[in-house]
Structure 1
Amino acid sequence: MPRLFTALEVPDDVGAALSSYRGGLSGARWLDVENYHVTLRFLGDVDEDTAQEAAYLLGQVRRAPFAVTLEGLDAFGGSRPRALIARVAPSPAIVDLQAEHERLMRRAGLPAERRKFTPHVTLARLRDSSSRAVADYLGLRGGPPGLSFRAERFVLYSSRDSVGGGPYVVEAAYPLR
Protein backbone atom coordinates (compact mmCIF):
# COMPACT_ATOMS: atom_id res chain seq x y z
CA MET A 1 0.00 0.00 0.00
CA PRO A 2 1.79 3.19 -1.12
CA ARG A 3 1.89 6.38 0.97
CA LEU A 4 1.27 9.15 -1.55
CA PHE A 5 1.16 12.94 -1.75
CA THR A 6 1.20 15.59 -4.44
CA ALA A 7 3.77 18.36 -4.37
CA LEU A 8 5.81 20.96 -6.17
CA GLU A 9 9.49 20.10 -6.44
CA VAL A 10 12.03 22.62 -5.15
CA PRO A 11 14.75 23.28 -7.77
CA ASP A 12 18.35 22.46 -6.88
CA ASP A 13 19.49 26.10 -6.66
CA VAL A 14 16.66 27.03 -4.28
CA GLY A 15 17.28 23.89 -2.25
CA ALA A 16 20.96 24.78 -1.97
CA ALA A 17 20.06 28.28 -0.73
CA LEU A 18 17.62 26.82 1.82
CA SER A 19 20.22 24.31 3.01
CA SER A 20 22.37 27.21 4.21
CA TYR A 21 19.94 27.49 7.16
CA ARG A 22 20.91 24.02 8.42
CA GLY A 23 22.46 23.83 11.85
CA GLY A 24 22.37 25.85 15.01
CA LEU A 25 19.13 24.46 16.45
CA SER A 26 19.23 21.76 19.10
CA GLY A 27 16.76 18.93 18.53
CA ALA A 28 16.43 19.56 14.78
CA ARG A 29 16.51 16.65 12.33
CA TRP A 30 17.34 18.35 9.04
CA LEU A 31 15.74 17.00 5.88
CA ASP A 32 17.99 16.07 2.99
CA VAL A 33 17.98 18.81 0.37
CA GLU A 34 16.74 16.43 -2.33
CA ASN A 35 13.59 15.88 -0.25
CA TYR A 36 12.56 19.56 -0.15
CA HIS A 37 9.11 20.08 -1.68
CA VAL A 38 5.86 22.02 -1.26
CA THR A 39 3.10 19.56 -0.38
CA LEU A 40 -0.18 20.20 -2.15
CA ARG A 41 -2.29 17.24 -0.97
CA PHE A 42 -1.45 14.31 1.30
CA LEU A 43 -3.26 11.18 0.15
CA GLY A 44 -1.88 8.84 2.80
CA ASP A 45 -1.64 5.08 2.63
CA VAL A 46 -3.94 4.07 -0.19
CA ASP A 47 -4.70 0.83 -2.02
CA GLU A 48 -3.53 0.31 -5.60
CA ASP A 49 -6.95 1.04 -7.13
CA THR A 50 -7.19 4.38 -5.31
CA ALA A 51 -3.59 5.21 -6.27
CA GLN A 52 -4.34 4.53 -9.94
CA GLU A 53 -7.56 6.56 -9.84
CA ALA A 54 -5.75 9.47 -8.17
CA ALA A 55 -2.95 9.36 -10.75
CA TYR A 56 -5.51 9.35 -13.58
CA LEU A 57 -7.50 12.27 -12.14
CA LEU A 58 -4.36 14.34 -11.58
CA GLY A 59 -3.61 13.94 -15.27
CA GLN A 60 -6.70 16.03 -16.01
CA VAL A 61 -5.30 19.15 -14.31
CA ARG A 62 -4.74 22.00 -16.75
CA ARG A 63 -2.96 24.95 -15.15
CA ALA A 64 -0.34 27.42 -16.31
CA PRO A 65 3.15 27.50 -14.77
CA PHE A 66 3.47 30.03 -11.96
CA ALA A 67 5.97 31.69 -9.64
CA VAL A 68 6.52 30.29 -6.15
CA THR A 69 7.96 32.81 -3.70
CA LEU A 70 9.46 31.98 -0.32
CA GLU A 71 8.56 34.56 2.32
CA GLY A 72 10.72 33.65 5.29
CA LEU A 73 11.40 31.09 7.97
CA ASP A 74 8.83 30.00 10.54
CA ALA A 75 7.89 27.05 12.73
CA PHE A 76 4.79 24.90 13.13
CA GLY A 77 3.63 23.90 16.58
CA GLY A 78 3.43 27.09 18.64
CA SER A 79 4.58 26.44 22.20
CA ARG A 80 5.65 22.90 21.21
CA PRO A 81 7.42 23.49 17.88
CA ARG A 82 7.50 20.39 15.67
CA ALA A 83 8.83 21.65 12.31
CA LEU A 84 11.04 24.42 10.97
CA ILE A 85 9.74 25.65 7.61
CA ALA A 86 10.27 28.15 4.82
CA ARG A 87 6.90 29.84 4.24
CA VAL A 88 5.60 30.02 0.67
CA ALA A 89 3.52 33.04 -0.35
CA PRO A 90 -0.08 31.77 -0.79
CA SER A 91 -0.55 33.09 -4.32
CA PRO A 92 -3.87 32.53 -6.08
CA ALA A 93 -2.14 30.07 -8.46
CA ILE A 94 -0.86 27.76 -5.72
CA VAL A 95 -4.05 28.01 -3.66
CA ASP A 96 -6.20 27.19 -6.71
CA LEU A 97 -3.97 24.26 -7.69
CA GLN A 98 -4.18 22.84 -4.17
CA ALA A 99 -7.97 23.28 -4.12
CA GLU A 100 -8.22 21.39 -7.40
CA HIS A 101 -6.12 18.56 -5.96
CA GLU A 102 -8.44 18.48 -2.97
CA ARG A 103 -11.52 18.19 -5.20
CA LEU A 104 -9.95 15.48 -7.34
CA MET A 105 -8.84 13.41 -4.35
CA ARG A 106 -12.33 13.63 -2.86
CA ARG A 107 -13.64 12.38 -6.22
CA ALA A 108 -11.16 9.47 -5.91
CA GLY A 109 -12.84 8.55 -2.64
CA LEU A 110 -10.41 10.05 -0.14
CA PRO A 111 -11.69 11.93 2.89
CA ALA A 112 -11.45 15.72 2.99
CA GLU A 113 -8.20 17.19 4.26
CA ARG A 114 -8.88 18.57 7.74
CA ARG A 115 -5.87 20.86 7.98
CA LYS A 116 -5.85 24.32 6.44
CA PHE A 117 -3.50 24.57 3.48
CA THR A 118 -0.38 26.47 4.49
CA PRO A 119 2.15 26.26 1.67
CA HIS A 120 5.67 25.68 2.95
CA VAL A 121 8.92 23.76 2.57
CA THR A 122 9.82 21.70 5.64
CA LEU A 123 13.49 22.17 6.48
CA ALA A 124 13.69 20.23 9.75
CA ARG A 125 11.58 18.14 12.08
CA LEU A 126 11.93 19.28 15.67
CA ARG A 127 12.15 17.06 18.70
CA ASP A 128 12.58 18.56 22.15
CA SER A 129 13.37 21.99 20.74
CA SER A 130 12.12 24.67 23.10
CA SER A 131 9.93 27.44 21.77
CA ARG A 132 12.58 29.87 23.08
CA ALA A 133 15.37 28.16 21.13
CA VAL A 134 13.25 28.16 17.97
CA ALA A 135 12.36 31.84 18.44
CA ASP A 136 16.05 32.70 18.92
CA TYR A 137 16.99 30.71 15.82
CA LEU A 138 14.33 32.44 13.72
CA GLY A 139 15.29 35.86 15.08
CA LEU A 140 18.92 35.38 14.09
CA ARG A 141 18.28 33.96 10.64
CA GLY A 142 15.37 35.98 9.31
CA GLY A 143 14.60 34.07 6.19
CA PRO A 144 15.30 33.51 2.54
CA PRO A 145 14.88 36.98 1.03
CA GLY A 146 14.03 37.01 -2.63
CA LEU A 147 14.02 33.25 -3.18
CA SER A 148 11.58 32.17 -5.82
CA PHE A 149 11.19 29.65 -8.60
CA ARG A 150 8.84 28.84 -11.43
CA ALA A 151 6.65 25.78 -10.92
CA GLU A 152 6.60 24.01 -14.28
CA ARG A 153 5.06 20.77 -13.01
CA PHE A 154 3.67 19.03 -9.97
CA VAL A 155 4.40 15.45 -9.00
CA LEU A 156 2.83 12.49 -7.27
CA TYR A 157 5.34 11.28 -4.69
CA SER A 158 5.47 8.04 -2.76
CA SER A 159 7.28 7.68 0.51
CA ARG A 160 8.01 4.96 2.97
CA ASP A 161 6.84 5.23 6.55
CA SER A 162 9.94 6.58 8.26
CA VAL A 163 11.08 9.05 10.84
CA GLY A 164 11.44 12.46 9.21
CA GLY A 165 10.10 11.47 5.82
CA GLY A 166 11.93 10.53 2.70
CA PRO A 167 13.29 9.23 0.59
CA TYR A 168 10.57 10.37 -1.77
CA VAL A 169 10.05 8.76 -5.17
CA VAL A 170 8.36 10.54 -8.08
CA GLU A 171 5.62 8.15 -9.20
CA ALA A 172 4.19 10.50 -11.85
CA ALA A 173 4.90 14.03 -13.08
CA TYR A 174 2.29 16.41 -14.48
CA PRO A 175 3.39 19.43 -16.53
CA LEU A 176 1.77 22.78 -15.94
CA ARG A 177 0.85 24.17 -19.36
Structure 2
Amino acid sequence: MPRLFTALEISRDAALSLSLLRGGIIGPKGSVRWIDPENYHITLRFIGDVEGHVADEIVHALDRIDRQSFTLQLAGVDVFGSKKPHSIYAGVTPSPDLLALQAEMERICQRLRLPPDPRKFTPHVTLARLKGLPDMQLARYLSERGNFTTLPFNVSRFVLMSSKESTGGGPYVTEEVWPLRSASFNAGFENGQDVSASNYQFPAGAAE
Protein backbone atom coordinates (compact mmCIF):
# COMPACT_ATOMS: atom_id res chain seq x y z
CA MET A 1 0.00 0.00 0.00
CA PRO A 2 1.41 3.45 -0.86
CA ARG A 3 2.31 5.89 1.88
CA LEU A 4 0.27 9.10 1.94
CA PHE A 5 1.24 12.63 2.90
CA THR A 6 -0.01 16.15 2.27
CA ALA A 7 2.33 18.62 0.64
CA LEU A 8 2.92 21.89 -1.14
CA GLU A 9 4.41 21.99 -4.60
CA ILE A 10 7.39 24.10 -5.56
CA SER A 11 7.22 26.72 -8.29
CA ARG A 12 9.11 26.14 -11.52
CA ASP A 13 11.62 28.92 -10.85
CA ALA A 14 12.27 27.79 -7.29
CA ALA A 15 12.73 24.19 -8.45
CA LEU A 16 15.25 25.36 -11.02
CA SER A 17 17.19 27.23 -8.32
CA LEU A 18 17.11 24.13 -6.11
CA SER A 19 18.38 21.92 -8.91
CA LEU A 20 21.52 24.03 -9.13
CA LEU A 21 22.40 22.87 -5.61
CA ARG A 22 22.82 19.30 -6.83
CA GLY A 23 26.38 18.03 -7.01
CA GLY A 24 29.54 19.45 -5.54
CA ILE A 25 30.10 16.58 -3.10
CA ILE A 26 32.81 13.99 -3.61
CA GLY A 27 32.19 11.02 -1.34
CA PRO A 28 32.11 7.23 -1.31
CA LYS A 29 29.85 5.58 -3.85
CA GLY A 30 26.26 5.61 -2.62
CA SER A 31 26.91 8.18 0.10
CA VAL A 32 24.76 10.85 -1.60
CA ARG A 33 21.50 10.30 -3.48
CA TRP A 34 20.14 13.50 -4.99
CA ILE A 35 16.37 13.99 -5.21
CA ASP A 36 15.08 14.50 -8.74
CA PRO A 37 13.76 18.05 -9.26
CA GLU A 38 10.30 16.83 -10.27
CA ASN A 39 9.98 15.33 -6.78
CA TYR A 40 10.72 18.54 -4.84
CA HIS A 41 7.94 19.42 -2.38
CA ILE A 42 7.25 20.65 1.15
CA THR A 43 5.68 17.95 3.29
CA LEU A 44 2.85 19.27 5.47
CA ARG A 45 1.65 16.13 7.24
CA PHE A 46 2.94 12.58 6.89
CA ILE A 47 0.00 10.19 7.09
CA GLY A 48 1.54 6.84 6.28
CA ASP A 49 -0.11 3.59 5.23
CA VAL A 50 -3.89 3.65 5.72
CA GLU A 51 -6.82 1.55 4.60
CA GLY A 52 -8.96 2.72 1.70
CA HIS A 53 -11.89 3.85 3.83
CA VAL A 54 -9.56 5.90 6.04
CA ALA A 55 -8.04 7.53 2.97
CA ASP A 56 -11.56 8.48 1.86
CA GLU A 57 -12.24 10.05 5.27
CA ILE A 58 -9.01 12.04 5.01
CA VAL A 59 -9.92 13.33 1.55
CA HIS A 60 -13.41 14.29 2.73
CA ALA A 61 -12.02 16.18 5.73
CA LEU A 62 -9.38 18.01 3.69
CA ASP A 63 -12.13 19.10 1.30
CA ARG A 64 -13.37 21.41 4.06
CA ILE A 65 -10.17 23.44 4.36
CA ASP A 66 -10.87 26.98 3.20
CA ARG A 67 -7.80 29.20 3.20
CA GLN A 68 -6.27 31.87 1.02
CA SER A 69 -3.23 31.35 -1.16
CA PHE A 70 0.01 32.77 0.19
CA THR A 71 3.64 33.31 -0.70
CA LEU A 72 6.69 31.31 0.34
CA GLN A 73 10.40 31.77 -0.02
CA LEU A 74 13.16 29.19 0.33
CA ALA A 75 16.38 30.16 2.07
CA GLY A 76 19.42 28.41 3.47
CA VAL A 77 20.76 24.87 3.17
CA ASP A 78 21.17 22.59 6.19
CA VAL A 79 21.20 18.96 7.23
CA PHE A 80 19.01 16.69 9.35
CA GLY A 81 20.75 14.37 11.78
CA SER A 82 23.36 16.19 13.82
CA LYS A 83 25.25 13.08 14.96
CA LYS A 84 24.51 10.96 11.90
CA PRO A 85 23.50 13.23 8.99
CA HIS A 86 20.89 11.56 6.79
CA SER A 87 19.55 14.30 4.49
CA ILE A 88 20.35 17.73 3.05
CA TYR A 89 17.50 20.20 2.78
CA ALA A 90 16.63 23.76 1.78
CA GLY A 91 14.83 25.76 4.44
CA VAL A 92 11.64 27.82 4.24
CA THR A 93 11.43 31.38 5.57
CA PRO A 94 8.89 31.84 8.41
CA SER A 95 5.29 31.94 7.19
CA PRO A 96 2.26 32.27 9.50
CA ASP A 97 -0.01 31.12 6.65
CA LEU A 98 2.02 27.95 6.16
CA LEU A 99 1.99 27.17 9.88
CA ALA A 100 -1.78 27.79 10.10
CA LEU A 101 -2.47 25.45 7.17
CA GLN A 102 -0.28 22.74 8.63
CA ALA A 103 -1.87 23.13 12.07
CA GLU A 104 -5.34 22.70 10.60
CA MET A 105 -4.23 19.51 8.87
CA GLU A 106 -2.78 18.27 12.16
CA ARG A 107 -6.12 18.86 13.89
CA ILE A 108 -7.89 16.95 11.13
CA CYS A 109 -5.54 14.01 11.54
CA GLN A 110 -6.05 14.01 15.30
CA ARG A 111 -9.84 13.98 14.88
CA LEU A 112 -9.48 11.00 12.58
CA ARG A 113 -7.30 9.33 15.24
CA LEU A 114 -4.32 8.96 12.99
CA PRO A 115 -1.00 8.23 14.70
CA PRO A 116 0.75 11.48 15.65
CA ASP A 117 3.87 12.49 13.78
CA PRO A 118 6.62 12.43 16.44
CA ARG A 119 8.76 14.89 14.49
CA LYS A 120 8.41 18.63 15.00
CA PHE A 121 7.12 20.32 11.87
CA THR A 122 10.10 21.88 10.10
CA PRO A 123 9.09 23.08 6.62
CA HIS A 124 11.78 22.17 4.10
CA VAL A 125 12.56 20.73 0.70
CA THR A 126 14.72 17.61 0.80
CA LEU A 127 17.62 17.84 -1.66
CA ALA A 128 19.58 14.64 -1.01
CA ARG A 129 19.67 11.48 1.11
CA LEU A 130 22.97 10.72 2.84
CA LYS A 131 24.62 7.50 3.95
CA GLY A 132 28.12 7.52 5.35
CA LEU A 133 29.21 10.82 3.85
CA PRO A 134 32.43 12.13 5.49
CA ASP A 135 31.80 15.12 7.76
CA MET A 136 34.44 17.23 6.03
CA GLN A 137 32.74 16.88 2.64
CA LEU A 138 29.35 17.76 4.10
CA ALA A 139 30.70 20.77 6.02
CA ARG A 140 32.36 22.14 2.88
CA TYR A 141 29.17 21.75 0.86
CA LEU A 142 27.03 23.53 3.48
CA SER A 143 29.49 26.39 3.93
CA GLU A 144 29.51 27.07 0.19
CA ARG A 145 25.72 27.17 -0.10
CA GLY A 146 24.60 28.73 3.15
CA ASN A 147 23.44 31.93 1.46
CA PHE A 148 21.04 30.15 -0.90
CA THR A 149 17.69 31.87 -1.43
CA THR A 150 14.87 31.95 -3.97
CA LEU A 151 12.46 34.62 -5.05
CA PRO A 152 9.06 34.46 -3.32
CA PHE A 153 6.52 32.29 -5.11
CA ASN A 154 2.77 31.89 -4.79
CA VAL A 155 1.23 28.75 -3.26
CA SER A 156 -2.17 28.30 -4.86
CA ARG A 157 -3.02 24.75 -3.79
CA PHE A 158 -2.07 21.82 -1.58
CA VAL A 159 -2.01 18.18 -2.57
CA LEU A 160 -2.27 14.64 -1.25
CA MET A 161 0.65 12.57 -2.50
CA SER A 162 1.65 8.93 -2.32
CA SER A 163 5.03 7.26 -2.37
CA LYS A 164 6.37 3.74 -2.42
CA GLU A 165 7.58 2.41 0.90
CA SER A 166 10.89 1.06 -0.36
CA THR A 167 13.32 3.95 -0.83
CA GLY A 168 11.84 7.39 -0.21
CA GLY A 169 12.65 10.40 -2.34
CA GLY A 170 10.20 9.57 -5.11
CA PRO A 171 8.73 8.98 -7.48
CA TYR A 172 5.65 10.57 -5.95
CA VAL A 173 2.10 10.46 -7.29
CA THR A 174 -0.38 13.31 -6.78
CA GLU A 175 -3.60 11.66 -5.63
CA GLU A 176 -5.79 14.71 -4.85
CA VAL A 177 -5.55 18.49 -5.32
CA TRP A 178 -7.21 21.26 -3.31
CA PRO A 179 -7.05 24.88 -4.52
CA LEU A 180 -6.58 27.76 -2.11
CA ARG A 181 -8.64 30.93 -2.48
CA SER A 182 -7.00 33.57 -4.64
CA ALA A 183 -5.13 36.36 -2.90
CA SER A 184 -3.17 39.22 -4.43
CA PHE A 185 0.40 38.38 -5.32
CA ASN A 186 1.63 41.01 -7.75
CA ALA A 187 -1.39 40.12 -9.85
CA GLY A 188 -0.06 36.54 -9.84
CA PHE A 189 2.84 37.39 -12.09
CA GLU A 190 6.50 38.18 -11.81
CA ASN A 191 8.42 39.62 -14.76
CA GLY A 192 5.42 38.80 -16.88
CA GLN A 193 5.42 35.11 -15.95
CA ASP A 194 3.02 33.17 -13.75
CA VAL A 195 5.01 31.81 -10.82
CA SER A 196 2.29 29.88 -9.00
CA ALA A 197 3.27 26.43 -7.80
CA SER A 198 0.28 24.92 -9.58
CA ASN A 199 1.91 25.83 -12.90
CA TYR A 200 5.14 24.02 -12.08
CA GLN A 201 6.57 22.06 -14.94
CA PHE A 202 10.28 21.47 -14.65
CA PRO A 203 12.06 21.92 -17.97
CA ALA A 204 13.43 18.69 -19.41
CA GLY A 205 17.14 18.27 -18.87
CA ALA A 206 17.49 21.40 -16.73
CA ALA A 207 18.92 19.42 -13.83
CA GLU A 208 21.68 17.83 -15.82
- The correspondence of residues 109-148 of structure 1 with structure 2, limited to 5 A, is 109-148=113-152
Which residue is equivalent to 2:23?
A: 23
Which residue is equivalent to 1:154?
A: 158
- Aligned-residue sequence identity (percent) comes to 51
Q: Alpha-carbon deviation of 1:6? A: 0.2
Which residue is equivalent to 1:93?
A: 97
1:40 equivalent among 27, 40, 44: 44
Question: What is the rounded CA distance, in whole Å, between the counterparts of 1:31 and 1:143 in structure 2?
Answer: 20
1:168 equivalent among 163, 172, 178: 172
Larger radius of gyration: 2
Which residue is equivalent to 1:69?
A: 73
Unpaired segments ≥5 residues, structure 1: none
Question: What is the rounded CA distance, in whole Å, between the counterparts of 2:42 and 2:127 in structure 1?
Answer: 11
C-alpha deviations, 1:107-142, integer Å up to 9, x for none? 122022211100000000011113332111010122
Letter in 1 for 2:17: A
Which residue is equivalent to 2:198?
A: none
Question: What is the rounded CA distance, in whole Å, between the counterparts of 1:91 and 1:70 in structure 2?
Answer: 11
Letter in 2 for 1:17: S
Check the 8 A contact 1:65/1:176 in 2, yes or no. Answer: yes
TM-score (norm 1): 0.95
1:54 aligns with 2:41: no
* Greater share of residues in strand: 1
Check the 8 A contact 1:50/1:109 in 2, yes or no. Answer: no
Check the 8 A contact 1:28/1:129 in 2, yes or no. Answer: yes
TM-score (norm 2): 0.81
Q: Residue 143 of structure 2: SS of its match in structure 1?
A: helix
